[in-house]
Structure formats: C-alpha cells, structure tokens
Structure 1
Amino acid sequence: MEDIENNRKLFEYTLGRWIYNEPRRLAERRLVFNVGELMKAAAKSVNRPTSDITSFRKIAEGGFNRVFDISMKDGSSILARLPYPSTLPRRLAVASEVATLAFVRSYGIPTPRVLGYSVNDNAVGAEYILMEKLPGRPIGDAWFDLSEQERLKVLLQIVKLEIKLFTIGLPASGSMYYARDLSPSTPKINIPGSDGELCIGPYAALRWWFGERGDLDIDRGPHDDPRLVLQTPAEKELAWIRAYGRPRFPFKRAYRETFDYKKQDPEEHANSLVEYIRLAPHLVPTCSKLNLPVLRHPDLQPNNIFISEDFSITGLIDWQHSLALPTFLAAGMPNLFQNYDDEKSMSFVLPQLPDNFESMDEDERARAQEQFRRRHVHFFYLGFTQRMNEPHWHALEQETGLLKRRIFNDASSPWEGLNTPLQIDIVRVSQNWSKIAPADSDGTIPACPIMLREQEVQRRAALDESLREVDSEMERINGVLGIASDGWTPNESFESAKERARLIREEGLAAVSDDPWLKEMTEQHWPFDDCNEDE
C-alpha cells in the first residue's frame, strides 16, 4: 500500500495547488511511468547494476517537466527529467534539448552532461533525459536578496556566457537536433563542423505546436532567409484560424469587461496577421550582422541558474524549446533582468536610492529598495553587454529593435481571443515607418503598406491602455492573494488564498449589485473561479 502511495506522488504534481481549474492543471501534469525501468535505464547509463541505486525521489516540478534524483552507493546522483503529457512538441522537445545541451556545452557553456535519453516508445513508458547532477544550487528566490556586488558578479558571468553564444556561427534559424532523431523527410540544415551529426531542424517552441497546430501541414523551418523567419509564424496562425478558429472570449477573463463580455472574431485577428505579413519584409535589417542566426537560453530565470557558494555560475539548465533566430529577433534582455516599464531604466542612467531613503517608513523603504534593485540589474546588464558583447549591443541599440521583436512575438503567439497586442503593434510600426523601412536605391522610403484612419488608431490605443490598467490591477490582486498569474500557490498558502479570493469575489459582486446584467457577467466571468478555458 505504501509503494502505491509513493508512486502516486511520483506520478502526480504535488509542489503546489491552483485556486481555480485545478483538476485540469493536475491532469496536464500527471504522468504514469515504469519506475523500475527508469531506474534500470539510469544505472545502465553509467554502467552500474540497478542494485547500486540507493534511492529514487522527486526533487523538482516545473511548468513542463518533472525531475527525479537517482542516488548511487558511491554518493553520486543521476537526474532523470520527464516531460509532462501536455509538454509539446512530443519527441521533438526532448530531442532538441538533448542536442542543444551537447552543442552549447562544447562551446564552454556549463550545462548538465546528458548520460542517456529516449524520444521513442520504450519500456519506461515515457520520454526522458538522464543527465549528471550539476554542482551548486539554483539561485531561486535568493536572487532578490543578493547584495549589489553579488548581483554584479552573477550578471557579469551571464554576459560572458552570452558572448560565447553570440560568436557561434549557425547556418539557419530553427531548433537544434541530432540528425538521427529526425525522420529522413523532415527538413534540416546540417551544422558545419559536426560531420552531419547535428543539424538545424523545425522550431521546437511551444507556440508552433499549441492546441491543434501540431496537426497542421505547414512550414516549421528551418529557415536561412530572415524574411521567412518573420512571415511563417503568422502564416502558421492564419492556417490555424482557417482550420479551427471560432469566436471566443479572451483567455484572460479579467480582459472581458473591456470588450463588453463579447466573444472576439478570429477573422479580425486574421486580418491583422495579413497586415503583418505585408509589413514583415520591411522589418528585415539591411545590416547583414543583424540577420546572423543566434541561439540563446530560452528561459534565463533564477531557478535555471546554478551557482556555487561564492556565486560562481556552475550551470545553466532547462534549454527546452530553444530557438536560433536572426540576431535582431534573438536580441533582448532576459525577463529576469529587464525593467522596460520604468522610465529611468530606459534612459540608461546609473540608479541611486532616494535621498530620503533612511527616513522612509518600512513599506516605503521596501518599495524603494525593490525599484532600485530592478534598475540596478537593468543598468548593469546593459552596461556589461555594451562593454563586452558588441554583436548583442549592436542589436539592442537599434532604435526600432524592441518594436520589431514585439510585433514578431505577437504575430507568432497562438490566438486565444485577444487581437489588441498585434493591432497596437501595427499602429506603432506604421507611426515609426520612416525609421523602420529600408530606403530604396534612390534614397526614398517606400510607402507603408498599411494605412489606418485616425479614429481606428485611437480605438486601438484606448483598448491597449485599458488592458494595461487591467494587467496592473490583476498584478496587485494576485499579490494580495499570493498566487501566480495562473492561480498557482504553494500548498501551505492554498486555503488562505482561497479564502481571500472568496472575500474579494463578494466585494466585487457587491460593487455591481445595482446592475443585474453587469452582476451576471461579472459572476459568469469571475477570474478566480473554475471555468471552461476553451470558450
């Protein structure tokens, strides 16, 4: 009976809870596999008998994978990483990460050494990667408490590692694979110097495979032409809308009041995608250096950065869904470091604590300290990059680079009932056309292929501003509840988060009690209740 209970904990998500739609989140993460066969595979990967294994325990659960520690008699450990059933693309996500880990490791990026893996049907009953255990520990939440000098030490090392990535020559944009893991019919471009072993193949990013997108017969790369890199993600979304699109509410329920609780038409998004495709060829830089493919870490956040006791980086983990993209699209500050919403950070001025910092009350000091930390990280990441990583800095200092990356990402993202981000991007591109479009041979700027009436520009701007206000309010409420944006909270906080959510719901409904229709809509679309996510 105890073994059954232990195995249940191995197969199911136990790190936290969700205050809404928890059954769906748990089902997405439930993976039953053959524990004994995984132990056999682990022991075989280091030429040991299974009898040398002393323990098998779950040590981590992330958004896409579960990690187990398999300890041996001599004190060594093997880590087994198994993707959830909901992790896409099946096979390709694991195959790409294995090849990427080996490739970047060969260029001096500290990553776990892969000991074995399987992307096909096997006795374990699941895909897996077996890898060595890195020394050190993940920074985790300690990142927010580091001293200035400790932060600077980590930032400097990150930039130095990125220098290595930016100097690697790649033949195309796409994801990396061992050629043996791709079918003969899958498009691929061999990586020079790998003797045909490694190649660039289809994009392994989730947005290419989300929902029914994996069933579409479309071009998923690789691409050695930056125009195709820009266009095909939007063509992917157009193909999906034509095959599966139907009116739906915005996925984020807090947005629905802004749209008068009306379902949004996928044709409106399709029209924006067509407009984007007309703009895309003009987004390609004329500078050839900006079009060179670059591979970067896809999720550089505290839990994926391992450090030693003296804050030396010992490894970067979780390269799943990695992409090589043209430099002008690959560039950008990792979310962990950027502070783009802050005016002083954008002005690239050395941050300082307020003059009256010592006289502030405790809450004010905490807010000022956090603001300083964000500005400090943003400033010095940029400063180290400017001084040491010229290819990245050259891309970052392009005046319209951030806008180009934003519109590319918004055109690539799966449509879930929200048209405004891409629509406002198109407005900003048209407004900055003289800075974006390459001049013709006679020096003239071609006319922007998209013309918008001022009334439409104002409508989009008003919607964008409204959604930003919603985002700000939801961030505040999530902070009060102690939950992540998807409703996740640690186990020990679940009951209190549920109770706080109940009280906020009562207050929200009471505030609209004089309007029966609005009360009904508020209740029906309340963002912290269980709901049908496919409506």
Structure 2
Amino acid sequence: MSLFQSPLLCPLFEYTSGRWIYNESQRLAERRLVFNVDELKKATATSVNRPVSDVKSCRKMAEGGFNRVFDISMEDGSSVLARLHYPSTVPRHLAVVSEVATLDFVRAHGIPTPRVLAYSVDANAVGAEYMLMEKLPGRPLGNAWFNFSEEERLKVLHKIVELEAKLFAIKLPASGSVYYARDLSPGTLRIDVPGSGDGLCIGPYAALRWWSGERAGLDIDRGPHDDPCLVLKTAAEKELAWIRAYGRPRFPFLRAYRETFDYNKQDPVEHAWSLLDYIQLAPYLVPPCSKLNQPVLRHPDLQPNNILISEDLSITSLLDWRHSMVLPTFLAAGIPDMFQNYDDEESMSFVPPRLPDNLELMDEEEQARAREQFRRRHIHFYYLSFTQRMNEPHWHALEQDTGLLRRRIFTDASGPWEGLNTPLQMDIARITQNWSNITPVKPDGTVPPCPVVLEEQEVRRRAALAESLQEVDSEMERIHGVLGIASDGWIPNESYERAMERAALIKEEGLCEVSDDAWLLGMTNRHWPFDDWDEDE
C-alpha cells in the first residue's frame, strides 16, 4: 500500500462532509472506509476498457449514511463514479446486487438512472464492495429546491410525478426487492419478473429494517410474497423473532422521550403483545380492491440530493436506489417526505393554499413563518393535484380514507424496536376506533368483530402518551432549528462550533429550570439529548 493510501493519512477513507454535536466518534467510525485506491483505479479503467494510465485522479465527491461516492476522472475529461458501501451498511451482499438490478430495471422503463459499468460484492482487490457507474449530467436539486420560485418548484414537481407514474405502471409479480437471479445464492426464494428476459426476479426484502443489528442473523421469512397479508404479517413476525432472541428492557432511543416515561426503561414484552395484536388485525388491513394490492416499486429516498436536474430544470437522474422494496400499492403509496405536510390540517383537506391576507402587516419573523407554511402547503397540494391527473393508481390509493393509518401501522410494526412502545399501541387503538371503515363488509352486510378489544381507559392512556410525545417532537424540532442540526445531530462543518456553544447554553437553561428537584436534575443531566451517550442502554 502506497503512502497515499495509508489509513492514517488518506482523507478518502474518512467522513469529512459534516460533524455531529453528540456521539460523533461513533458516527465517524461507522463511516470509516479503508480500501485500496490503486486497485479501485484499475477496476475503473477496466470497466471502460482503458489502461490504468488513463486514470487522472480519484476525488471524493459525496458521502452519506451508507456509502461514499468518488469521481474517478480520465485524461480525456470523462468520469466514472465509484460508490463504495461502508462496512456498517447492511445487508452487505444484497444491498449492492439489489440496487444494481433495480437501476437497470427502472431505467428500462424510462426512469433516468446511471448505467452500472461494473460491481463487486465478493472478496476483491479493492478491499470493499463497490459499484462503478456512468456520470450523468446535472446538479443535485439540493438546497436550491427551497429557494426556487413557485413556478420552478411546480416544474420539477410535475416531472417527478410523471416519473412516478411510470413506476406505478410497471406490472410486478410479488413484493420483495429486485435482483438478477445470478446474484442470489442457490436456494434463495425468488419469483421471476415476467417478460424481463434478462434473469430479473423478485427476491428477499433488501430494506434496512429487515437486517439491522442482530436481525441479519435471524432465520426468518424475508419474502418474496405474492400475498399482501403475508407482507403485513411477516414484517411483525421478524420483530417478534428479534425480541424473543435479543430483546431486553431499555430506554427509548430518542432521549428526549425519556422524561415522558419518568426515566423508566421500556419492556420489549409490551411491544411483543402489540405485535401479536397487529398480526391478528393484519388480514383485515388488506383492501378488497385488487388494484390496491398490485405490487409497485418506488424510490426509497426521494430527497433533493438524490435528484439531478439540468439548467432547464429537467430531471437527468434519480440516484440512490439502495434498500428499494416492492410493496402492495396500498402500502407503497404516500407523499414523499420532501413534499408532504401531513401534520397540517389544511393540507389534509386538499384545498388550494394561499398566503394570509394580512401578510404585509406581519413582522419579519411572522412573515417568514407564514411563507414557509405556504411553501409546504403549496407543494403538498400540487403533488396531490399532479398525481390525481397523471398517476391514477397512486391517486386511488391516496384518496382512501384509512390509507394513511394502514401504512402507519405497517411501518410501526415492521420498524426495529428501539425502546418505544407507544406508536404501535396508538395505531392499534386507532384501528379499533375506525374498525367499521377498515374491514370489508361481509356479503350479508355485517362487519366482522374486531379481534382486538381495548377498554376506553386504555385508549385514553395511549392517546395521552402519544400527545405527550408529539409535544416533545415539536419542541425538539424547534431546538434543532435553533441549533441548525439534523435529527441525528449532524451539522455542516462550518456551523459546528457555534452549534456547540448554543447547545451548552440550552443545557444550562434546561438544568436551571429543574434545579430545585435533585432527582429530576440528575435524570435530566444524565439523559440530556445533546450529550454523548451509550446508544445500547
């Protein structure tokens, strides 16, 4: 290994795109990736039938939570993008091969994605799993999205919905993830994609929720599934298997929630009971309409940095299809996070938004809040409006009264348990309260009885806890805005020192508020949300 490749000296191996105001050493360790730079150059040159002497440079281009992207430029000015997964990214093999197949599959159906030139998931000279891809023109939508005019936002939004309509039009045989059959080990369950002609199939789910932590070692059913009820049930059975093997009482992972529970550890057995209740409800959550059960593939993380645009605001590529899943339409539906405004009552009513009539009379801060609220409502409304016009299958799923509740309970039942029981408990309570709208009516006109019965007192208890957690969420969102950090404590390098100073002041004020109660002062200090902490406690 050359001096340039020394793990102690090479910045290519370290995460440098930002900092964290707490548990930074752990986040950096998860993203440290040591590999053989010279061998990566050789593999890149081979992928484009060039001698390695044609490789001019290897430059780190971007890095996220799961991988790092390098721009490997040639003497003639052309470039190849190399994406290397961090050692902590799971599932190790399936995450790469599924994304390779997914990129090829969606591109064949008119979705702009980079062409994969080569990939490797086995032991190789590079020393890391990699994908080599063509470099497409365009710039990431990024922060420019938030500064666009209304007309510019709508132009991009319209094109995104057009691309989504193409995805919803693809006929798929089952839920799971997309693979080439050649990349799956013998004996792995798979269902061929009819008419693909190149060995494409639906295989096990590659989504992170199925593989995080010890879940990767569980002997469980991970699909594929051609029965929507199995999609619902196996997601919860996965988490039940993990609780039985590894579950132990722990504090909620989000430390700001701990005061709500009087700083008591939460019992995974309580979550297991909720999962068993959910499994009883699962058969009734499947819609009777066959169109809502049609498997569909969507982009797993449609956020601004994964969308490349040209100068005329055309979409040149949708990037990062890692962890993609095919799900029944009623579960796959939903407004992408960057467009949705579900917490706003006016947005949920699907009415055209407008700025307040008295906007000019507001002070600067009030105007800023009003304009941001309008921006969020504007995007939410027009995403729905464009979807209604161009993507009937998705619109049909979105207009179902209980659609959001079905998706929420599936997400909360399938997500890794991290010391919080309330979300799934509240979902179950809402299902029981909306039972007549959830379950299909029998031929004789009657509604089957709900298999889960909750006392009114228990429903009120769950609702009170959920309301308390929502208040915590609102307060944490406000503090994150003051500090300028993401939900996991990430912040741009240039803002780190100031954020640390502000965080220290906020802690000082917070401790001062509880200083007259010695026990509460100790607990608040021990579980302060913006200090380093043991993530396994």
In which range does the TM-score fall when normalised by the shorter chain? over 0.9
Where does residue 293 of structure 1 map in the other structure? 295
Q: 1:15 aligns with which of 7, 14, 17?
A: 17
CA distance in 2, matches of 1:50, 1:144: 41
Q: Which residue number in structure 1 is paired with residue 31 of structure 2?
A: 29
Kindly state the Cα deviation for residue 413 of structure 1 after the two structures are TM-superposed.
0.3
Match of 2:60?
58
Equivalent in the alignment of 1:382: 384
Of 126, 129, 132, the match for 1:127: 129
1:308-387 map, 5 Å = 308-387=310-389
Aligned residues: 535
Match of 1:485 among 484, 487, 490: 487
Matched, 1:516 2:518: yes
Secondary structure of 2:270's aligned partner = helix
Q: Report the CA distance between 1:92 and its aligned residue.
A: 0.4
Q: TM-score, normalization: structure 2?
A: 0.98
Unaligned 5+ segments in structure 1 are: none
- Out of 462, 465, 468, the residue aligned to residue 463 of structure 1 is 465
Counterpart in 2 of 1:215? 217
Q: Counterpart amino acid of 2:79?
A: S
- 1:159 aligns to what? 161
Once the two structures are TM-superposed, the CA of residue 6 in structure 1 deviates from its matched residue by 8.9
**Contact 2:5/2:36 (CA < 8 Å) preserved in 1?**
no
- The answer to which of 363-372 and 86-95 deviates more is 363-372
2-structure distance, mates of 1:481, 1:195: 52
Partner residue, 2:175: 173
Change beyond 3 A, Cα 1:5–1:201: closer
Q: Give the CA deviation at 1:38.
A: 0.6
Q: Among residues 290, 294, 305, which one is paired with 2:307 in the alignment?
A: 305
1:64 to partner: Cα distance: 1.0
Alignment of 1:413-428 (within 5 A): 413-428=415-430
Instruction: Report the Cα offset of residue 147 of structure 1.
Output: 0.7
Name the aligned partner's letter for residue 456 of structure 2.
E
Q: Match of 1:103?
A: 105
- How big is each residue's C-alpha offset from its partner over 1:47-71, in whole Å with a ceiling of 9 and x where there is no partner? 0011111111101011111000000
Q: Report the Cα offset of residue 2 of structure 1.
A: 6.3
Structure 2, unaligned runs of 5 or more: none
Contact 1:190 1:196 in 2 (8 A): no
Matches within 5 A, 1:384-423: 384-423=386-425
1:229 aligns with: 231
Residue in 2 that maps onto 1:533: 535
Find runs of 4+ consecutive structure 1 residues off by over 3 angstroms: 1-7
Name the counterpart of 1:502. 504
CA deviations 1:170-219 (Å, max 9, x no partner) are 01000001111100111111111123611100000000001100000000
Distance, in Å, in 1 between the alignment partners of 2:38 and 2:188 is 34
Distance 1:6 1:159, change over 3 A: farther
CA distance in 1, matches of 2:20, 2:393: 42
Sequence identity percentage:
76
Asked if the contact 1:307/1:313 (under 8 Å) is kept, the reply is yes
Counterpart-to-counterpart distance in 2, 1:145 and 1:354: 20
Q: Which residue of 2 aligns with 1:143?
A: 145
Once the two structures are TM-superposed, the CA of residue 7 in structure 1 deviates from its matched residue by: 5.4
Shift in CA distance, 6/70, structure 1 to aligned 2, threshold 3 Å: farther
**Quick one: which of 433, 436, 454 aligns to 2:435?**
433
2:4/2:10 contact within 8 Å kept: no
CA distance in 2, matches of 1:2, 1:313: 37
Q: Find out whether 1:242 has 2:244 as its counterpart.
A: yes
Name the SS of the counterpart of 1:55 in structure 2: strand
* Counterpart selection for 1:205 from 199, 204, 207: 207
AA aligned to 1:192 is P
CA distance in 1, matches of 2:431, 2:354: 34
Q: TM-score, normalised by structure 1?
A: 0.99
By how many angstroms is 1:369 displaced?
1.1
1:272 counterpart = 2:248? no
Distance in structure 1 (CA, Å) of the matches to 2:280 and 2:199: 37
